[in-house]
Amino acid sequence: MKRKLSHGFRILLGILGILGLVLGSCTGKTGSSTKEGEIAGKIVVLTHRTDWVNTKFQDYKKAFTAKYPKVEVEFEAITDYEGTVRTRMSTKEYGDVLCMVTVPPTPQEFANFYEPLGTVEEFSKIFDFVDTSTTISYNGIVYGYPINANVAGGLVYNKQVFKDAGIEKLPTTPEEFYEALAKIKAKTSAVPLYLNYPAQWTLVQWEGGRLSFAGDPDYLNKMIHDDAPFSPGKPHYELYKIMYEVVKRGLCEKDILTSDWELSKQLMADGKIGVMALGSWALGQIRALSKTPENIGYMPYPVTVNGKVYAEVGLDYNLAINKNSKNKEAAKAWAKWFATESGYAQDCESIPALKGGQFPAVLTAFKDLGVQFIIGAPAKPGEEGLLDKLDKESEIGFWQAPQKIRIVDAAMGTTKESFDDIMNDWNKRWARARQTLGIK
């Protein structure tokens, strides 16, 4: 495990240390033989950035059209992004360029929906994370342009709320976390932890914390061969037990059934929320809304593994091309430009995927807390796609909302099952799926 962690560090530190920047375009399908001035057509770009579509994205559009004057760009911002786009992917009408939705479709299905862009080897010369990501390529072929990477799972928190509640140090155990939230509830008017239950996708954000609880980049490869990976003491059990307990103890919003994602960001920015479980991608959005952005911090999940605190780093949304697009050259021009020239990663205060990019100061502070960054190990040879198949066959849905909703409903008392009932059911489903798929 120690060897793999150091490998993860080398990859991450490479972002900070790489001096050279590869400026040439990739060979093969990563670029176009058409001259820039000749690329023309109208493209529709789907985005989840409802907050920036009429502001920052208009600046991106202006810069892009200065280089590609014959390309007309239209943005379509979607609030329930993944749910809406997955539905539209049952047709051919899901934009020309889109933030890449995965699992479903699984990597084996990428070619059914996305245009192939080049090889992993080619893309890895220009971008970090491509060779370790399981959400951008299949069988050596890349289907999305990587833009930025984030800490996959952690907790956005308001420093002033913590100070007002008398919380002097960040919690590193679940019990310390519950105590901190209880102080916020007792000593301030802020909501201790905001779940955003109605949005549903916000509950899925918790899944990004699984490797924080494992402390092992190879954990998911080992999980494939475990009949009971949701038992007490194991990563998913301990992660979702926190979600359950926060609701059970009344440490989240009172009216849990009515909340608003866009409003919640402003409430966090204004010091009316203590904690939200989100990837580090949310930091830039919330800080941009705050009059005191320095009060918006990011902390790891409250868990230590062998005395250390871990956090997973991985790619955010990648930009893919609809394989049914009628203007693929124009679509590729936008995706490539956005990945290499827009400055989006810096604007988001996230880790740039483009080699040589600057590490964001807000996450440097996160790193200074002693957090050990790890990158999930790729699947073992011959086991590619098995985790996704198990997830689908068992109907647990790591990156889907239904089972998280089930946990919250149980904690609210809406249903009669306990947390352990749910975890036992997950174990049964998993073991049955392993048997069905013939995995030893």
116-147 per-position pLDDT tens digit: 999 999 999 999 989 878 789 999 999 999 99
pLDDT above 70 (res 235): yes
Q: Which residue has better confidence, 176 or 108?
A: 176
Q: Which residue has better confidence, 41 or 373?
A: 41
48 falls in which pLDDT band (50, 70, 90)? very high
pLDDT above 90 (res 241): yes
CA distances from 43 to 14, 155, 208, 333 (A): 35, 36, 32, 10
Averaged confidence pLDDT in the chain: 90
pLDDT above 60 (res 33): no
What was the pLDDT predicted at 37? 64
Q: In the block, which residue shows the tokens 């004057």? A: 69
Question: 10 is written with which tokens?
Answer: 């080398």
Q: Which residue has better confidence, 284 or 21?
A: 284
434 falls in which pLDDT band (50, 70, 90)? very high
7 falls in which pLDDT band (50, 70, 90)? very low
What was the pLDDT predicted at 381? 87
Which of 91-100, 128-137, 279-288, 370-379 ranks highest by mean pLDDT? Answer: 91-100
CA distances from 104 to 59, 87, 99, 431 (A): 32, 11, 14, 21
Percentage of residues in the chain having pLDDT higher than 70: 90
Which of 301-310, 336-345, 369-378, 380-389 ranks highest by mean pLDDT? Answer: 336-345
Cα–Cα distance measured from residue 388 to residue 395, given in angstroms and rounded to the nearest whole number: 10
Q: Which residue has better confidence, 88 or 152?
A: 88
CB atoms near residue 331 (< 10 Å): 27
pLDDT above 70 (res 57): yes
- Name the CATH superfamily, with its identifier, for domain 38-150+316-366: Periplasmic binding protein-like II (3.40.190.10)
3-state secondary structure the chain: CHHHHHHHHHHHHHHHHCCCCCCCCCCHHHCCCCCHHHCCEEEEEEECCCCCCCCHHHHHHHHHHHHCCCEEEEEEECCCHHHHHHHHCCCCCCCCEEECCCCCCCHHHHHHHECCCEEHHHHCCCECCCCCCCCCEECCEECCECCEEEECCEEEEEHHHHHHCCCCCCCCCHHHHHHHHHHHHHHCCCEEECCCHHHCHHHHHHHHHHHHHHCCCCHHHHHCCCCCCCCCCCHHHHHHHHHHHHHHCCCECCCCCCCCHHHHHHHHHCCCEEEEEECCCHHHHHHHHCCCHHHEEEECCCCCECCECEEEEEECCCEEEECCCCCHHHHHHHHHHHHHCCCHHHHCCCEECECCCCCCHHHHHHHHCCCEEECCCCCCCCCCCHHHHHHHHHCCCCCCCHHHHHHHHHHHCCCCCCHHHHHHHHHHHHHHHHHHHCCC
What was the pLDDT predicted at 333? 98
Return the closest-CA partner of residue 150 out of 370, 362, 405, 400.
362
Return the closest-CA partner of residue 214 out of 363, 5, 390.
5
CA distances from 51 to 86, 134, 289 (A): 21, 28, 10
Cα–Cα distance measured from residue 376 to residue 274, given in angstroms and rounded to the nearest whole number: 29
Task: Report how far Cα 401 is from the mean position of its chain's Cα atoms.
Answer: 14
What was the pLDDT predicted at 10? 40
pLDDT above 90 (res 251): yes
CA dihedral 419, 425, 429, 432 (to 10 degrees): 140
pLDDT above 70 (res 21): no
Return the closest-CA partner of residue 142 out of 184, 171, 100.
100
Q: What is the mean pLDDT of residues 362-391?
A: 83
